[in-house]
Structure 1
Amino acid sequence: MTPNGLIPVLTIAGIVFSTMLGANVLVEKVFSWPGVASYALDALLASDYAPVQGFVLLMASIFVLVNLTVDLLYGLADPRATVA
């Protein structure tokens, strides 16, 4: 794959990963899978806000790291891409 074709692939990969991160709560609740998203939703329904804050902080941190990784990979795929 040429570097010019890699930029849209990186963009869509970042968007898809972010969408899957948000859909994690729905999937865990629908299929009754135990996980951090299911725990956070149960805590929200029980008005226990400390686990909810931790979950939001975790998801936001992962989202920022994914976007940072995609931005750094842009620089590797196209050296002409610079930080403005």
Structure 2
Amino acid sequence: MADLNVNTMDNTEYMIEEIKKKLRMATGAALKASQLNDEQYDDLRDIYEMVASKNQFSISEIEAITMELGRLRRA
């Protein structure tokens, strides 16, 4: 696996895809790696690490994660 401490487009795309798979999100809130700027990379990595560390999510957790991903997209 790549070093996710390094901000690259490939790493961003990888984390987004893994979050979408883990949460079983069809559209991933239409989040694309190209929509994020450098300051948002650490926020995305924090979300990715939290999602990767859990096996199950409540509906409210999924909603909160989705809202946070949407905030990244609009920022």
Q: After TM superposition, is the score higher than 0.5? A: no
Output the TM-score relative to the length of structure 2.
Answer: 0.36
Larger radius of gyration: 1
